[in-house]
Chain A
Amino acid sequence: MTRELTLSKAVNEAIAEEMRRDPTVFVIGEDVAEAGTPFKVLAGLVDEFGTERVIDTPISEPGFTGLAVGAAMTGSRPIVDLMFGDFLFLVMDQLCNQAAKIHYMSGGTMTVPMVLRTNLGATRRSAAQHSQSLHALVAHIPGLKVAMPSSAYEAKGLLKTAIRDDNPVVIFEDKLMYQDKAPVPEEEYLIPFGQANVLREGRDITLVATSSMVQVCSKAAETLAAEGISAEVIDPRTIVPLDEATIVASVRKTSRALVVDEGHQSYGVTAEIAARIAERAFYHLDAPVGRIGAMDVPVPFSPALEDLTVPTPDAVADRARALCKGGWADAA
């Protein structure tokens, strides 16, 4: 049986199911208990599991992330709730110097099975410190896994896999999608890491899209289809590990690629995936690999400016059209 669930409810269900299954799982973060987070994603969990397992913390991101690392090293499976992705900068030492490296530094004798849930996404009029998409930063650090769900279905399946993984996993939810509904099976399911999802098959161009950009690229693909351009849309689901094989095979088939991601364009996910395509599908390409990321500016507050900074379906369609019909240099 399948029903429609919001992304928010899908996350809530994933956590509840895993907490019922495994008594070592607990949630820790700011306003996670009675408040259920500002986005109400965790609403009701405290009623079932109590304040011992849904733990409200002081506003001390490095502190509670550090506690989670230590708890994960000693038999617990903490889920850290980091209220905004922007707060990653506060927890970098605990996440990147400690959690990411402990398994390696200890020669495999210790593991850190923790999940850090946070979010990304601009256009919520939240300005520069509550709107960033910082997944590329953590994807840069060996030892972390990075999941990027693009729908309610994806969010539930990836989060359940993350909770059962023996490594630190950072999972980014698109905060603008919390109320978006998608079909979610009632039966239990998990989505394995490192296996991309081909949402739409096509012949002319491959659109590789992460998280919030999957919807954007799907809309662009519709527009392009009406014009006779057949776009394949691929959601990598996890950027670490990355299903390079599926992406490369697709580009070898379509001969064109456009990578779309909401992180800043410079030194980001679009650069990494574009480079891998160039390395492994170069002789199959009929056009340079294109990419669109978020504009390399701090996210502005004014709606008139903010909307300019993120990739849109029209921008994706324009660039894809140019790549397919020539004149790509002018479209850049």
Chain B
Amino acid sequence: MARATAKTNTEDYIRMYTQMVRIRAFEDNANQLYLAAKMPGLTHMYSGQEAVAVGICEALEDDDRITSTHRGHGHCVAKGAEFKQMFCELLGKAEGYCRGKGGSMHIADTSHGNLGANAIVGGSMGIATGAALSAKLQKTGRIAVCFFGDGATAQGLWYEVMNMAALWKLPVIYACENNGYSEYTRTDEIAAGSITARAEAFGIESFEVDGQDVLAVNELARGLVERCRKGEGPFFVNLATYRYHGHHVGDINRDYYRSKDEESEWKQHRDPITNFGKWLEAQNIASAEELVGINDAVRREAEAAVAHAEAAAYPDVSEVDMHVHAGIPHALSA
């Protein structure tokens, strides 16, 4: 596979590598918290798809908007979130980004333009397109990226909002993280025709890219972001990627829909972090020792954040009826 042409500087490469490692470390710790029964509820691992979130978010400005999915930790990290507030949110603690009210499936970080994960598959497609409409009406120059999985392409909402985005030339990029599975079913068993052709049917310029190649993703994204800002959007990108875990952390025995051979093939040969690390070494951008140093630092950061979150306080019970309505401190005390 041909690598994208190098156009960014060393600092950008190292940051992209670091951000991918941070996502993997976050997920490994989140998975451990689940397995140790320290995390309430369930969660969906982003591991394996890191190059998608990082390649795209590194092409965005801090105040550009993204919408995320139930498999959303990767987008949150890639858009600039801090581990401490993220782990606090996953554990339902008051210091979490959403004061523990959202949890893994609703984590949002408005300080970096992340309008939130969404537990309805495809549920954020309207929100992202609406953010792009706002940006166009108010001439802010911002763009919006709508992340969703291949499973979400079966939702009718996508076709409705693509139609409007194309009609009104909205600055939105629809990024389909195509990991091949719609929950517990192979997507090619339930998707007719071509997903990319569906976007093209609306006159939306569409692209397919190797979602395991962070440089290829980033180079494509930079170009599309720039064109979006000039009013040439919307765009659709189909990113071929793979999720290493099951649909959610509890989806352990999955032989009935996916083989172990297939999983190990992706992990051994198509891992976005391993492959990018090798490239950085081959290009003499970073040594093996430097990469190990990054990995170790990220691991320590994640462990410290987990420890912090485990010790952090739950929200006071008085918060249960706060934030029902903006402007009303407690909805039920009237």
Contacts and interface: CB of A to CB of B under 8 A. Distances in A.
Interface stretch (B157-165, B232-240, B250-258): B157-165
Interface string A4-35: 00000000000000000000101000000000
B65 A102 contact: no
Interface stretch (B32-40, B298-306, B323-331): B323-331
Interface in A112-162: 113, 142-143, 145
Contacts of A107: 96-102, 323
A103 B130 contact: no
Contacts, number: 152
A313 B67 CA distance: 51
B108 interface: yes
Interface in B77-104: 96-102
Contacts of A142: 324, 331
A190 interface: no
A63 B102 contact: no
B39 to A, nearest CB: 18
A166 B160 contact: no
Interface stretch (B6-14, B121-129, B274-282): B121-129
Given A65-B126, A143-B324, A105 B160 contact: no
Contact of B137 (A26, A72, A108, A166): A26
Interface in B114-151: 115-116, 118, 120, 123-135, 137-138, 140, 144
B157 A62 contact: yes
Given A60-B163, A93-B123, A110-B115, A105 B129 contact: no
Nearest to B122: A93
Interface in B279-334: 322-327, 331, 334
B97 A74 contact: no
A167 B327 contact: yes
A52 B134 CA distance: 11
A64 B138 CA distance: 18
A189 B259 CA distance: 67
B130 A93 contact: no
Contacts of B326: 103, 108, 111, 113, 166-167
A160 B99 CA distance: 32
B323 A63 contact: no
Contacts of B160: 58, 60, 62-64, 66
A11 B97 CA distance: 39
Nearest to B126: A66
Contacts of B127: 66, 69-70, 73, 98
B325 A103 contact: yes
B169 interface: no
B243 interface: no
A76 interface: yes
B157 A66 contact: yes
A145 B325 contact: yes
Given A102-B116, A103-B324, A103-B325, A67 B126 contact: yes
A68 interface: yes
Given A57-B164, A75-B138, A67 B116 contact: no
* Centre residue among B102, B133, B157 by max chain A CB count within 10 A: B133
Contact of A105 (B106, B124, B163, B322): B106
B126 A70 contact: yes
Contacts of B324: 103-104, 142-143
A67 B161 contact: yes
Interface in A65-105: 65-76, 78, 93-94, 97-98, 102-105
A44 interface: no
B327 A105 contact: no
B199 to A, nearest CB: 15
A166 B126 contact: no
Contacts of A103: 323-326
A2 interface: no
Nearest to B99: A107
A104 B323 contact: yes
A57 B118 CA distance: 25
Contact of B164 (A58, A75, A113): A58
B108 A62 contact: no
B97 A94 contact: no
A78 B129 CA distance: 14
A67 B164 contact: yes
* Centre residue among A53, A68, A145 by max chain B CB count within 10 A: A68
* Centre residue among B144, B156, B164 by max chain A CB count within 10 A: B164
A241 B334 CA distance: 10
A63 B164 contact: yes
Contact of B130 (A70, A113, A167, A194): A70
B134 A70 contact: yes
Contact of B97 (A64, A102, A109): A109
Contacts of A72: 130
Given A75-B140, A110-B108, A110-B116, 7 more contacts: A58-B160, A62-B157, A73-B130, A74-B134, A103-B323, A106-B110, A241-B334
Interface of B: 65, 67, 96-102, 106, 108, 110, 115-116, 118, 120, 123-135, 137-138, 140, 144, 156-157, 160-161, 163-164, 167, 322-327, 331, 334
24 contacts: A63-B160, A66-B125, A66-B129, A66-B160, A68-B130, A71-B134, A74-B130, A74-B135, A75-B140, A76-B134, A93-B157, A94-B126, A97-B120, A98-B124, A104-B324, A105-B106, A106-B98, A108-B99, A110-B115, A142-B324, A142-B331, A143-B325, A167-B325, A167-B327
5 tightest Cβ-Cβ pairs between the two chains A and B: A66-B126, A70-B130, A63-B160, A107-B99, A70-B127
